[in-house]
Amino acid sequence: MADRPANTPRPQLSSVFDDMLAQSKKSFDDLYRGRLSRAGEAAVQARPFPARETSVGKPAGSSLSAKIASDSAAARWLNEHFGNDWRYEIATQKREGDEAIVLGKLTFGRENAVRTQFGRAKITGDAVAAASGGLRFKLGGAGSEQDEHEAFRRAAEAALSNCVDLI
């Protein structure tokens, strides 16, 4: 078998497999392009994938500011190495579940070099855990507006620290 040339006809089983693979590829392509529903019948109307539960990203000028504490390790390091020749802004920020996610942009030096990184922080909240009839449950914990603001501040500091790590 190993000494057969590559251009000789394939055995019957390989041909069946190739046909099955081609049919699967066609079905996948049709599904991807919206021509078929998941059950295999023709789709009446193409529908987008369901959206994940996230809040819309907010630009830097939103109510949640990007103020970094001057005593943070990243800010101290930048002040020591660049003085006042650096600036940090939040490009986007969003809430996903119980997590604050921030995309920070650090511009520094005479050449205005740029570093961009993400930062994340858990949004904490006071949750009440209990049990009833042997069933455990948890209520609350979604976090207040103050908890969310604090989480975005921590995420912004984490993003700045990640930017400094790239320098």
One domain, residues 46 and 77: no
Mean pLDDT computed over every residue of the chain: 74
Percent of the chain at pLDDT > 90 equals 28
pLDDT at position 13, please? 53
One domain, residues 41 and 114: no
> DSSP readout, 8-49?
SPPPHHHHHHHHHHHHHHHHHHHHHHTSB-TTSSBPSS--PP
Instruction: Give dist(CA 6, CA 3) in Å, integer.
Output: 9
Q: Is the pTM of this model over 0.75?
A: no
Nearest to 63 by CA among 90, 87, 97, 88: 90
Owning domain of residue 34: 10-50
CATH number at residue 141: 3.30.390.80
pLDDT at position 6, please? 55
Instruction: Give dist(CA 163, CA 105) in Å, integer.
Output: 8
- Counted domains in the chain: 2
Query: Does 77 fall in a domain?
Result: yes
The separation between the first and the last C-alpha atoms of the chain, rounded to the nearest angstrom, is 58
pLDDT at position 57, please? 42
Confidence of residue 54 (pLDDT cuts 50, 70, 90): very low
pLDDT at position 105, please? 94
Q: pLDDT digit string (tens) for 121-156?
A: 998 876 666 777 778 766 665 567 888 888 899 999
pLDDT at position 53, please? 38
pLDDT at position 59, please? 43
Confidence of residue 43 (pLDDT cuts 50, 70, 90): very low
One domain, residues 95 and 157: yes
DSSP 69: P
The mean pLDDT value for 8-26 works out to 70
Strands, DSSP E only, in 27-134?
86-96, 99-108, 113-122, 127-132
Query: Does 32 fall in a domain?
Result: yes
The mean pLDDT value for 159-165 works out to 93
